[in-house]
Structure 1
């Protein structure tokens, strides 16, 4: 599954955020892998960050990271840069799912549906 997220940087932290992401700690990469995350991409527009996370089960991955001390250390560190993650109102699937952005449109899905007609 792919999940899109939106977070906002603290004022003036744009360059610092990019610097610390030039090479994230190896133990964080291992923690993300243990949680079932196979890829995580981040784009920035001003203070706004857009994330695309690939994993089997996003809610389970976030629950695993919530229990991982490596992630706790990273969150304490990166909190100096990130103001907040936007939320979408929540779902019964779990608290972390309320961070996932709803997909509006996908070219390949429409093209496949059109090809079947």
Structure 2
């Protein structure tokens, strides 16, 4: 399944956010892949962040990462950098941003 998410980085923390993503812990990326994610891309336009994930099952991904210490540490770090953090709720069939149009 493909899931699109939106977050907003604090204007004064853009450089920190980008630096953090240059050094995502290998343990976290391995856990994300093991939870069924084949691809996760983040684009930035000013302070707006747009995420696109391809995963087997978004609810499973969230459940597998929810209590993982490396993910909890990462989420704490991201909370310091983001103005608007996605709540990462599974949302059933409507996980993430709703599809408006697709070619």
The TM-score bracket by the shorter chain reads 0.7 to 0.9
Larger Rg: 1
Residue 59 of structure 1 deviates from its aligned partner by 1.2
Write out per-residue CA displacement over residues 50-83 of structure 1, whole angstroms, 9 at most, x where no aligned residue: 0001101111111111121110111112221112
Residue 28 of structure 1 deviates from its aligned partner by 0.9
Kindly tell me: are residues 84 and 99 of structure 1, through their superposed partners in 2, closer, same or farther at Cα, counting changes over 3 Å?
farther
TM-score normalised to the size of structure 2? 0.86
Residue 39 of structure 1 deviates from its aligned partner by 1.2
Q: CA–CA distance in 1 between the matches of 2:54 and 2:98?
A: 15
Aligned counterpart, 1:110? none
Write out per-residue CA displacement over residues 8-44 of structure 1, whole angstroms, 9 at most, x where no aligned residue: 1123111111111123111111111122111110000
The answer to which structure, 1 or 2, has the higher relative contact order (CA under 8 A, 6+ apart) is 2
Aligned counterpart, 2:68? 68
* Structure-to-structure mapping, 1:1-117, within 5 angstroms: 1-86=1-86, 95-97=89-91, 100-107=96-103
Q: How many residue pairs get matched?
A: 101
Structure 1: gaps spanning 5 or more residues = 88-93, 108-117
Structure 2: gaps spanning 5 or more residues = none
